[in-house]
């Protein structure tokens, strides 16, 4: 396909409904170490660009929240991870219609923490 991306017709995935778009979209930006932040800048840039993806999926800019509080923090524990705690709180309060990130399984290394978040999202 040789069409320019801006000229393509864009349709929303059928799993996104108005009840999702009525809530906020949370973009999770994460790198585990300061070294990764310094040396993997393309990954960080791509993660921040997910806010544009949420916009294209129907969220207004003011509904898109970027959580990057955990940049440079290990995912081994959620105790010292204010970003993950904030994400869990927002999902638990029913304020989130979509969580988007690259490799979101890296949000928590503990299966218990990860599964707790998935259960709340469901």
Q: Is 60 helix (H, G, I), strand (E, B) or coil?
A: coil
Active-site residue among 18, 32, 43, 105?
32
Nearest CA among 102, 99, 76, 74 for reference residue 86 = 99
Beta bridge partners of 38: none
Alpha-carbon Rg for the chain, nearest whole angstrom, is 15
Distance set, CA 41 to CA 56, 72, 93 (Å): 23, 13, 33
What CA–CA distance (Å, rounded) separates 32 from 91?
22
32 in active site: yes
Report the C-alpha gap between 40 and 42 in whole angstroms: 6
List the catalytic residues: 32
């Amino acid at each position: 396909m040789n069409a320019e991306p801006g000229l393509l017709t864009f349709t929303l995935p059928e799993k996104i409904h108005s009840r999702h778009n009525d809530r906020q979209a949370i973009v999770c930006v994460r790198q585990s170490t300061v070294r990764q932040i310094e040396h993997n800048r393309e990954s960080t840039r791509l993660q921040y660009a997910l806010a544009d993806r949420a916009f294209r999926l129907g969220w207004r800019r003011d509904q898109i929240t970027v959580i990057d509080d955990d940049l440079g923090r290990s995912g081994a524990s959620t105790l010292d991870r204010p970003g993950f705690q904030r994400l869990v709180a927002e999902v638990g309060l029913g304020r989130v219609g979509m969580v988007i990130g690259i490799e979101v399984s890296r949000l928590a290394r503990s299966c218990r923490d990860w599964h707790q978040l998935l259960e709340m999202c469901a």
